[in-house]
Structure 1
């Protein structure tokens, strides 16, 4: 569990509620069913129009990455690659066959299998780079769903505010309803702007950062496996891959 992201999410809610109270309003004033439907359901409708179902499913699947991010430890991966190169020098590439089943990451398993099968270095690079680019494109499409939600929601908040003001204008003859009506109209704006700037856009940026780290890990793996296939010395491989740590 990433406590920093969890604390940030909780703090976002606290800021809205506490800010409302400090401004002299009440927490109840933040709740408006009509504004909720316009902003949240409207944003969802826009995302459904824009994206295919598989992209939305990928976005939902990636949501847990924010609070349970995958571990990115390039130093450990480099150490493992150097270990594989030492095994290959002592036992040959077939000596790595026992390492394949022990790998939980299918990308690593595929790379080791290509190595054990005696693939040419550039062939190994080509196959794994296609996988890397495909995976990265899928993940970035999922992250973009949150980014687009952050773009749509403020506009829908304005739409909700305008619709609320239209309702107020229809009740100008009753002054007792004006204050409550205007306050309710601007709740939609709060929903839209808060959803975008406290949740959707930060989540999209967070996911893009995690995707970048995951891609870097896979680049390290590709370079390491290609170096092993070329028969490079383990110390040379380690020195080359250390550049990623800087």
Structure 2
């Protein structure tokens, strides 16, 4: 698992708590349960109201997948495809049927099986690219859900602050409680802004980044499968796929 997202979120909260302590405050003063319920519950409710139930369920699944995603190494996929191309060159395309059972990449396995089954190259490309397009659409919807949450959070936090200040004005005859009441009123705004910039927006960005890397790898797989199906020379397949990797062309030049 790539720890960047979880490490970044934890670091943000640690810095907030440490800063609070260094300024003479208490981290417990931030843990106002009513404010937390209002901000997080209200934000999720607003997101639910602005879309379909399946959008929220999909966003939760996408967030879990993005936060627990492994580091994506397309070089390994290129090596696997080149090995398959070498075997297909020696033994024929049908010889890859046994090899496909040991492939971990589901998209590569699916495309390779379609090629082995004799699917027309144009139809094969169309089917695989349609799957990539569908994935991009689903990931974009999940990213937008978290971006919307980031927009709703601070506003709902302000609602909580206004509610708190109204309560303060109702108790002006109790000056000994005003300081605590006023500080408590602003906790909702704090959680609204904090949730947007520490949770919602970063998770949305994480989903978009993981999707970008995964879709780029899937596009690379499509080109590799079509090259194998066409019987291309494994060296040509390797050069073509490596040129599609970020910085692939520069690496090859340096190696030469």
TM bin (shorter chain): over 0.9
TM-score normalised according to structure 2 size? 0.89
Is the CA contact (8 Å cut-off) linking 1:2 and 1:66 kept in structure 2? no
| RMSD (Å) for aligned C-alpha atoms | 1.7
Measured in 1, the distance between the counterparts of 2:185 and 2:41 equals 17
Query: Shift of residue 160 of structure 1?
Result: 0.7
Structure 2 residue runs of 5 or longer lacking an equivalent are 248-256
Measured in 2, the distance between the counterparts of 1:172 and 1:144 equals 43
The 5 A counterparts of 1:55-204 are 55-204=55-204
Q: Does 1:3 align with 2:3?
A: yes
Tell me the equivalent position of 1:226: 226
Tell me the equivalent position of 2:239: 239
Query: Shift of residue 18 of structure 1?
Result: 1.8
Measured in 2, the distance between the counterparts of 1:73 and 1:3 equals 15
Measured in 2, the distance between the counterparts of 1:7 and 1:20 equals 20
Is the CA contact (8 Å cut-off) linking 1:120 and 1:229 kept in structure 2? no
Measured in 1, the distance between the counterparts of 2:237 and 2:28 equals 62
Tell me the equivalent position of 2:252: none
Measured in 2, the distance between the counterparts of 1:210 and 1:142 equals 12
Measured in 2, the distance between the counterparts of 1:139 and 1:50 equals 17
- SS of the counterpart of 1:101? helix
- SS of the counterpart of 1:232? coil
Query: Shift of residue 78 of structure 1?
Result: 1.0
Change (3 A) 1:28 1:79: closer
Query: Shift of residue 121 of structure 1?
Result: 1.9
Measured in 1, the distance between the counterparts of 2:70 and 2:140 equals 16
Measured in 2, the distance between the counterparts of 1:135 and 1:35 equals 36
Q: Report Cα offsets for 1:12-70 as digits up to 9, x if no partner.
A: 22122222222232223212222122211101111211232322222222333344213
Change (3 A) 1:189 1:168: same
Measured in 2, the distance between the counterparts of 1:42 and 1:90 equals 62
Q: Report Cα offsets for 1:79-113 as digits up to 9, x if no partner.
A: 11111111112121111111222233332221011
Tell me the equivalent position of 2:45: 45
Measured in 2, the distance between the counterparts of 1:144 and 1:159 equals 23
Is the CA contact (8 Å cut-off) linking 1:93 and 1:118 kept in structure 2? no
Structure 1 residue runs of 5 or longer lacking an equivalent are none
Tell me the equivalent position of 2:250: none
Is the CA contact (8 Å cut-off) linking 2:2 and 2:70 kept in structure 1? no
Tell me the equivalent position of 2:27: 27
Is the CA contact (8 Å cut-off) linking 1:122 and 1:226 kept in structure 2? no
- SS of the counterpart of 1:222? helix
TM-score normalised according to structure 1 size? 0.93
